[in-house]
């Protein structure tokens, strides 16, 4: 363990690597470029025959080949959610330039998912029903269980430090990132690979969420279906993605001459204790998570230059988050800050959403470009903030905030700051 620079008496945590596979591209740069260009990742579902379903589209990965990153034999033993997180982890490892060998006991992983191996679960059940119990694949359970995204990252990259796996619905990967940063601050690790993954575009995934009336049914125009904060929003678009950030103690990053994207400054969590699926109607409990994250970061609400909103394109959720941001930042500050939901482009990637949006928030702060909320055409009187409509915006900012709120009342917020030596 190094002697380490500190801020307010604690170890400082910086971001030194990024990895991403998303509906917009199979790496960070292609995804970011498509995002700031205002593109949508929505298209007709290719994963299965959707003719009998009420929803025919989703935000799938395009041309994703796991064997680019994983040995073919091993890839066959993994669910898609594990393949995706490994691709992202390898990208982040390469981007950071870190060498894990020789310090593996000081390097850990914190990898989230909301559901886990949904396709493997469905495949296992189909075989059991059609061919009997003796024909079930012996790799079924290791493919299904949610912690195996984290497990495979540790096995493949050789990390031997703390290994954690959050499973808190759509807040999961923000929690994974926040917990990873705290792990470094506490001295339990020097480097953490932190992120999330989700591969929910399966028959049971589409049917289940559609039965809840959660999904948009704009089958005639998929690319316009995810429209956060817009008055005509009618439901979320299901997405799949994985993302990993390399978090590193500042002095160790300095010593090896690492590129630093930004600093992980704050983390806040709370719970609603309100409803299984609906947001806290008052907005107070998610706002408390935001205020907690800002206090943890030592950031005044007036310093916030960008909020990457959780907004999923649902009528209740987007209106609620507008209240949340106003409560957390104050009406005057909220009116000035740029807010966007990148789910207009990626769809809602559930347990991976926070990690994907953390990557986008880091890049927004580092590059001075705020990504747009696409498909924003008609203002909802209940949603009256600056949502960066349809076109990205140049803006030199210092502080970015990313929100994630999950079914069951899980709330998590992280704060990223432009790195200052």
Percent of the chain with pLDDT over 90: 93
What is the per-residue pLDDT across 186-226, written as a single tens digit (0 to 9) for each? 999 999 999 999 999 999 999 999 999 999 999 999 999 99
Distance CA 314, CA 125 (A): 31
Residue 402 forms part of a structural domain: yes
Phi and psi of 320, rounded to 5°? -65, -40
| 275 and 232 belong to one structural domain | no
Instruction: Classify residue 12: in a domain, yes or no.
Output: yes
Last residue in a domain, options 255, 274, 297? 255
- Tell me the pairing of strands 163-164 and 107-112: parallel
Q: How far does Cα 109 stand from its chain's mean position?
A: 15
β-bridge partners, 414? 267, 402
Active site residue 310: yes
Of the candidates 170, 349, 383, 413, the residue annotated as catalytic is 170
Q: Is the overall model pTM greater than 0.75, yes or no?
A: yes
Region 44-61: mean pLDDT is 97
Q: Supply the pLDDT for residue 2.
A: 36
Residue 162 and residue 86 share a domain: yes
Q: Are residues 23 and 132 in the same domain?
A: yes
Of the residues 50, 167, 348, 413, only one is catalytic, namely 348
Is 53 a domain residue? yes
220, 301, 380 from 197: Cα distances, Å? 29, 30, 32
Same domain, 110 and 194: yes
Count up the domains in the chain and report the number.
Answer: 2
What one-character DSSP code corresponds to residue 418?
-
- Report how far residue 229's alpha carbon sits from residue 222's, in angstroms, rounded to the nearest whole number: 17
The C-alpha atoms of residue 24 and residue 241 are separated, in whole angstroms, by 9
- Burial (CB < 10 A; 0-12, 13-18, 19+), residue 38, is middle
Q: Is residue 94 part of a domain?
A: yes
pLDDT of 3 above 70 = no
CB 171 within 8 A of CB 271: no
> How many Å apart are CA 261 and CA 274, to the nearest integer?
37
261 is a domain residue: no
Given a contact cutoff of 8 angstroms between Cβ atoms, the answer to whether 94 and 149 are in contact is no
**Beta partners for residue 405, in sequence order:** 411
Question: pLDDT of 131-182, one tens digit each?
Answer: 999 999 999 999 999 999 999 999 999 999 999 999 999 999 999 999 999 9
Choose, from 124, 310, 349, 383, the residue flagged as catalytic: 310
Measure the CA–CA gap between 41 and 34, rounded to whole angstroms: 9
Q: How many residues does the chain have?
A: 421
Least confident piece of the model among 35-49, 249-263, 274-288, 373-387:
274-288
Pure H helices in 105-242: 118-131, 140-144, 148-157, 172-185, 203-211
Report d(CA 171, CA 317) in Å as an integer. Answer: 14
- CB 279 within 8 Å of CB 316: yes
Tell me, yes or no, whether 234 and 283 share the same domain: no
Tell me whether residue 244 is in a domain.
Answer: yes
Q: Quick one: 319 and 411 in the same domain?
A: yes
Give alpha helix (H) positions in 10-79: 28-36, 72-76
Q: Do 241 and 310 fall into the same domain?
A: no
Which residues in 224-371 belong to E strands, given as ranges?
241-249, 262-271, 304-308, 338-340, 369-370
pLDDT at 7: 53
Does residue 4 carry a pLDDT above 50? Answer: no
The C-alpha atoms of residue 403 and residue 284 are separated, in whole angstroms, by 14
CATH number at residue 70: 3.40.47.10
Which domain range does residue 290 map to? 266-417
Query: How is residue 190 written in tokens?
Result: 């020097």
Give yes or no for residue 289 having a pLDDT over 50: yes
Give the pLDDT score at 8. 58
Say if residue 230 is in the same domain as residue 273.
Answer: no
What is the chain's mean pLDDT, rounded? 95
pLDDT at 10: 85
Instruction: Say whether both 200 and 60 belong to one domain.
Output: yes
In a domain, 210, yes or no: yes
Question: Do 168 and 30 lie in a common domain?
Answer: yes
| Average pLDDT score over residue span 352-380 | 98
pLDDT 10s digits, 371-417? 999 999 999 999 999 999 999 999 999 999 999 999 888 999 999 99
Helix, strand or coil, per DSSP, at residue 6 = strand
């Amino acid at each position: 363990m190094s002697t380490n620079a500190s801020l307010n008496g604690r170890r400082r945590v910086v971001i030194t690597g990024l990895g991403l596979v998303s509906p917009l591209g199979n790496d960070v740069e292609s995804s970011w470029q498509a995002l700031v260009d205002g593109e949508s990742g929505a298209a007709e579902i290719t994963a299965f025959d959707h003719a009998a379903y009420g929803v025919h589209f989703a935000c799938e990965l395009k041309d994703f080949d796991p064997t680019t990153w994983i040995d073919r034999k091993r890839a066959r033993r993994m669910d898609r959610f594990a393949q995706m997180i490994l691709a992202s982890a390898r990208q982040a490892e390469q981007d950071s330039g870190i060498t894990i060998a020789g310090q593996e006991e000081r390097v850990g992983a914190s990898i989230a998912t909301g559901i886990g191996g949904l396709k493997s679960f469905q495949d296992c059940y189909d075989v059991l029903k059609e061919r009997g119990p003796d024909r079930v694949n012996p790799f079924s359970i290791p493919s299904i269980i949610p912690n195996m995204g984290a497990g495979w990252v540790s096995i493949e990259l050789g990390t031997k430090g703390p290994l954690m796996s959050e499973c808190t619905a759509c807040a999961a990967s923000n929690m994974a990132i926040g917990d990873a940063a705290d792990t470094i601050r506490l001295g339990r690790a020097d480097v953490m690979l932190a992120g999330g993954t989700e591969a929910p575009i399966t028959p049971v995934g589409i049917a289940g969420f559609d039965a809840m009336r959660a999904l948009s049914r704009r089958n005639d125009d998929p690319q316009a279906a995810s429209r956060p904060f817009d008055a005509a929003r009618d439901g979320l678009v299901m997405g799949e993605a994985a993302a990993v950030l390399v978090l590193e103690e500042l002095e160790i990053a300095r010593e090896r001459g690492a590129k630093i994207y930004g600093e992980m400054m704050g983390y806040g969590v709370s719970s609603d204790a309100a409803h299984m699926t609906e947001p806290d109607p008052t907005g107070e409990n998610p706002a408390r998570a935001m205020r907690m994250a800002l206090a943890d970061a030592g950031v005044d609400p007036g310093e916030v230059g960008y909020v990457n909103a959780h907004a999923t394109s649902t009528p209740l959720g987007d209106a609620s988050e507008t209240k949340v941001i106003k409560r957390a930042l104050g009406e005057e500050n909220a009116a000035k800050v740029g807010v966007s939901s990148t789910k207009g482009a990626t769809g809602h990637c559930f347990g991976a959403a926070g990690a994907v949006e953390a990557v986008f928030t880091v890049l927004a702060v580092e590059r001075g470009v705020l990504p747009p909320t696409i498909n924003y055409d008609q203002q909802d009187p209940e949603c009256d903030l600056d949502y960066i409509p349809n076109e990205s915006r140049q803006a030199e900012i210092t502080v970015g905030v990313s929100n994630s709120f999950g079914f069951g009342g899980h709330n998590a917020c992280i704060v990223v700051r432009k790195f200052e030596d």
